[in-house]
Structure 1
């Protein structure tokens, strides 16, 4: 196919040779299958802010580092330079997270290069060598659901031990590769220690895994891995190999009404986003 304008620079720089096809149209990017010599890879082309359906919520960008104070002031004022800097920071957040998590052994696509708002990375493939499907497009036996759920809970732990919370983890941004699930889409990843919303996001991420795999293995709906993981993390007792039970005893005490209302709002926002992803996925398959 004809190379999109955003990929032309990568061709001119010799980073890719040809564009094979469009693989996916997501809420923040378009993904293409590309050829690089004898290798087949994927190129993620980030959409401009005006074209994205995913908002750069304050919860996600809290405490993100900027290159300098001038950039930070411009971002705070919302000037043209500030908006450009915010875009660059949003895109580089995923690149930074991918390199950080890949180094920690987390199952994410291997990042290869980042240039002009395009992230070049490995293509995650299924057993036939084709682009791997999303979890949402797959069905599982009870045993498969348990196995994949445990794998992903362990990956969440590994991510947290590396200081990262995905922040938007669900069946829509996990691919089923030949050797198991691979986590994708990390522009909203947050620093576990530096973001006040990290706990809530981790609980939601793990809750999404529980809800999805609970469709195939209902006993998973009664697990409390998220709360258990965060409690261990807060005590400094969490490592990638820490034994987990999926059980947690919640403390009784005064109800945090504000927190409850925030959870309700988050649940509504997540459901709206889920419906949008399903609509986009249906449109892409037609």
Structure 2
């Protein structure tokens, strides 16, 4: 097929030898199957901001840090240079997340680098060499659903333990090869500690997986993995090896009225004491003035 304009510079630089076909066109990027020497890989071409239909992008960018202060200020002001830098941050977020998650033991496509808005990475395939299907196209037994769901939950835990939340995880962002689920599409990955939307994004990711796999394994329908793992994460008790039960009991905290009243009384007494100290200090100033005048 004809080489897309955005991929042509990679062909000119010898990074890509041939564009074989278009794999898909999504809300933030188009993906192509390419040949790089003797290997078949995929090239993800990110769309310009004006062409993306990805909703609530601001919510996902919250908490992303930029080391260069000039770039950070420009991005905050929304200048032309700032918008350009924001695009670079958006595009590099996925490759950064891929390297980080692979090191943490999460199955993701192997990245080979991002070049001017084009991400080169591993093409995940099935046993016959064809592109691996998305999870939403896969039928499975109850036993397989339970096994794969547990594996995906372990990946989400590993992601959370290195400070990342996918943010858009669903059966459409998971591929399935001979070894099981592979997590894909990570440009919107959020910082679990710095993003105010982190908890509900994690909950949505986990519950999307629960709802899909429960079609094949109904026992999963009532699990509460999201609440369980977030509670442990907030307390600093979540590790990549934590064994989750899928059960979570809400803590109904009964207000201790006596303790609250004690705090109010203590605060009132402290305020009275503060005023008394100010009064005494002022009297001391007045007396010193009087003595000086004499």
Provide TM-score, normalisation by structure 1.
Answer: 0.86
Count of residue pairs brought into register by the alignment: 254
Q: What RMSD in Å do the two structures reach over aligned CA positions? A: 1.3
The structural deviation recorded for 1:253 is 5.6
CA distance in 2, matches of 1:83, 1:56: 16
CA distance in 1, matches of 2:41, 2:191: 28
5+ unaligned residues in a row in structure 1: which ranges?
255-286
| SS in structure 2 of the partner of residue 126 of structure 1 | coil
CA distance in 2, matches of 1:250, 1:3: 55
The structural deviation recorded for 1:158 is 0.9
1:49-128 to 2 correspondence within 5 Å?
49-55=49-55, 57-128=57-128
Q: Which has the larger radius of gyration?
A: 2
The structural deviation recorded for 1:58 is 2.4
What per-residue deviation string (whole Å, max 9, x for no partner) do you get for residues 229-280 of structure 1? 11111222212211111100012369xxxxxxxxxxxxxxxxxxxxxxxxxx
| SS in structure 1 of the partner of residue 127 of structure 2 | coil
Partner of 2:243: 243
Partner of 2:141: 141
CA distance in 2, matches of 1:75, 1:236: 32
CA distance in 2, matches of 1:56, 1:78: 17
The structural deviation recorded for 1:56 is 5.1
CA distance in 2, matches of 1:66, 1:32: 30
| SS in structure 2 of the partner of residue 51 of structure 1 | coil
The structural deviation recorded for 1:77 is 2.0
1:72-221 to 2 correspondence within 5 Å?
72-221=72-221
| Most deviating of 67-76 and 116-125 | 67-76
| SS in structure 1 of the partner of residue 114 of structure 2 | strand
CA distance in 1, matches of 2:113, 2:79: 29
Partner of 1:270: none
| SS in structure 2 of the partner of residue 97 of structure 1 | helix
| SS in structure 1 of the partner of residue 146 of structure 2 | helix
CA distance in 2, matches of 1:67, 1:156: 27
Provide TM-score, normalisation by structure 2.
Answer: 0.83
| Most deviating of 114-123 and 69-78 | 69-78
CA distance in 2, matches of 1:159, 1:238: 11
Task: Please tell me whether residue 45 in structure 1 is matched to residue 42 in structure 2.
Answer: no
What per-residue deviation string (whole Å, max 9, x for no partner) do you get for residues 20-63 of structure 1? 10011111000011111111100000001111110353221112
CA distance in 2, matches of 1:178, 1:85: 39
| SS in structure 2 of the partner of residue 159 of structure 1 | helix
What per-residue deviation string (whole Å, max 9, x for no partner) do you get for residues 135-182 of structure 1? 111122211111111110000011111111111100011001121000
| SS in structure 1 of the partner of residue 172 of structure 2 | helix
Partner of 1:12: 12
What per-residue deviation string (whole Å, max 9, x for no partner) do you get for residues 52-85 of structure 1? 1103532211121124222222222222111111
5+ unaligned residues in a row in structure 2: which ranges?
255-294
| Most deviating of 235-244 and 6-15 | 235-244
